[in-house]
Amino acid sequence: MPHPTRPVPAPQPRSRPRVLPGFGLRGPRREKHVLAAEDLAAPAFPVGDDGVVIGVDPQGLPAVLGLFRPGAYDLVLVGGLWTAQLIALRAASVGARVAVETARAQAWGPMAQAAGGGQPCVTVHAAGRLGPQGASVTSPVLVVRDLTARPPRSRLSAAPWQTTLTVLPWLVPEAVRLVNAADLVGVQRVQPQEADLLGRVLSLPPEDVAALPGLGDDLTLWTTRMRRQYVRAVAGPAEQQVLGGPRRVD
């Protein structure tokens, strides 16, 4: 007796592999990368964050300063014009605009002219003549205020992606408020009485207070309330042609 014929199921369309949106197509299958626990300490990355390389640390590794942030950022440098101009050049080299408000335009003019290769990436303004800069994530701005040891209050409003670097050739009691309010402070060689004042304002340990009067022209102590690091500025050949050698006093 013949068996009843069973209906043959219709062929089902082949389902396509699901692709997660935003992750693209699947690549070739590879074995997983495995790292033993004892090897975790082996990789070393001297630069830990995006920013501007301002020199080398005591171990000879690049010292990186994250200049531009989603909020306003204030720096104070108790130091020389050479170090301030090196930072400005490095900021311009990573695509930032630099606006200098200064009482000594003759000292900044040659550097500003050389920085952009014909492009106005560094502009120099007389005291009180600096207008809003329109900083943004795609166009960060470094504002350098080089207005003697007693700078007037800035007319610029704080803005995201706009960093202010105030240069104090030396520290006087009237400028302590600037140091107190800064997010980061750089200190070069200072007189012993200035070192004592900075030690009290920044809560520096005695060994740093004692070291400040003897720092070399290329050495800066960068400090916050929580961390401190000595950085030696190293200028490249092109920067040396523009700025000359390191110097603390101009």
Reported as a single tens digit per residue, the pLDDT across 183-231 is 999 999 999 999 999 999 999 999 999 999 999 999 999 999 889 999 9
Residue 115, both tokens: 């920085």
Measured distance CA(183)–CA(68) in Å, rounded: 12
Fold of 66-243: Rossmann fold (3.40.50)
Measured distance CA(38)–CA(156) in Å, rounded: 52
Model pTM score: 0.78
Residue 2, both tokens: 């013949």
pLDDT digits (tens, 9 = 90+) for 87-143: 999 999 888 999 999 999 999 988 898 886 667 789 999 988 888 888 999 999 999
Rounded to an integer, the average pLDDT of 221-245 is: 92
